[in-house]
Amino acid sequence: MRSWWSSKFKYRIIVLVCIGGLLIHFPAKAMENYLFTAFEPVNANATPEAKELLTYLYSLKGKSMLTGQHDFLEDPDVFVTKIKAATGKDPIVHGYEMGGILGQNETTLEDQRQKVVNSAIEWHKSGGIVTMMYHASYPGMQQYWNNVQRATKQEEFDQIVTDGTSLNKQLISDIDKVAVYLKQLKDAGVPVLWRPYHEMNGNWFWWGKKSNYVRLWNIMFDRYVNVHGLNNLLWVWNPNAPSSGVDPYANTYPGSSKVDALAVDIYNNDYKQSYHDELWELGGGKPIGIGENGEMPNESILSSKENKYVWFMTWGEMLETKNSASTVQSLYGHHSVITRHEHLMRPSMIQLFSFYGYKIMFYKPS
């Protein structure tokens, strides 16, 4: 007969004693800010940096929102610089683009993508978070905006996502070219909130409102995870707000096994509670954010029930065309948002132990 004092039993006792000691040492309310479970990315081979970033996003739910700003492929540091000049602070999330829309030839496109990678590596080194998107031109076509928005019938889209067709081969060629730059980020230890083929529930992009959109998502997911080994990517599925003429979220959701986080694009100050609640429900507790916005979320939104959003990202020039200088300054000074400075001041994250498959993480106070 095995002794009741088995190694497994002793391990459980040790775990309980550790948790009990923490609860005694810290007030219960304060412990909410320090002790939490680490969540694994959907890619089982995700890098340590990607795992830590995802766990950080989970830890922010209902507490804080990360500040973010998008910049364009052609000049990837313009608007983050303007925020620093206006507020004295940097956003923590820097948005980058991998798709060309101005008719770039291959040489120009390669040069611009390389500058994006160089900027993203420096942003990460300075304590920032990188998110990237991909305005993909129609497979095999030149990098023009009208090729991103090319009207595409369902039958034509079927050919794009069918293995072995000429359009499918062009698709693979295009996404493989982007993978070269994402691999540089992997090699540099940069985790990326990767949000490709966004706003798929609208009809303005060639991949929009397609009954088998998920097939396109899965092609890229499989290619990047299983062929290119881009284990630094966290997969962000990012529809448009389901306003008039836009499909509900659920129509194109790839499923929980292919998505790490969800985001929604909100323009025209259209911050409806339903956009937040439906996204949160669909994600089943995964982190959610505002992938793109025109007007920044105001103080009433930050303090409302829309508190599951953990980041926002203002779109390019809309920093200035949709937001006054006083609005930007007020938001970046709000106690509920996190800039790069506050992010750098956060406690370091360590793993205490693993318990029944859950990794118990702890923010060590500074």
Residue matched to tokens 């490709």: 196
Flag residues of the chain having pLDDT under 70.
1-38, 345-366
**pTM here?**
0.87
Tell which residue, 301, 331, 326, has the closest CA to residue 314.
331
d(CA 253, CA 311): 20
SS3 of 310-345 = EEEEECCCHHHHCCCHHHHHHHHCCCCEEEHHHHHC
- Confidence (pLDDT) at 348: 54
β-strand partners of 106: none
pLDDT tens-digit series, residues 90-104: 999 999 999 999 999
d(CA 88, CA 85): 6
Residue 145 to residues 91, 101, 347: CA-CA distances in angstroms? 28, 4, 43
d(CA 305, CA 62): 9
DSSP secondary-structure letter at 347? P
Helix (H, G, I), strand (E, B) or coil at 84: helix
Q: Which two tokens stand for residue 90?
A: 């940097």
Amino acid at 21: G
- Confidence (pLDDT) at 305: 86
pLDDT tens-digit series, residues 242-273: 999 999 999 999 999 999 999 999 999 999 99
- The tally of CA atoms less than 13 A away on the side-chain side of residue 42 is 24
pLDDT tens-digit series, residues 155-198: 999 999 999 999 999 999 999 999 999 999 999 999 999 999 99
- Confidence (pLDDT) at 20: 53
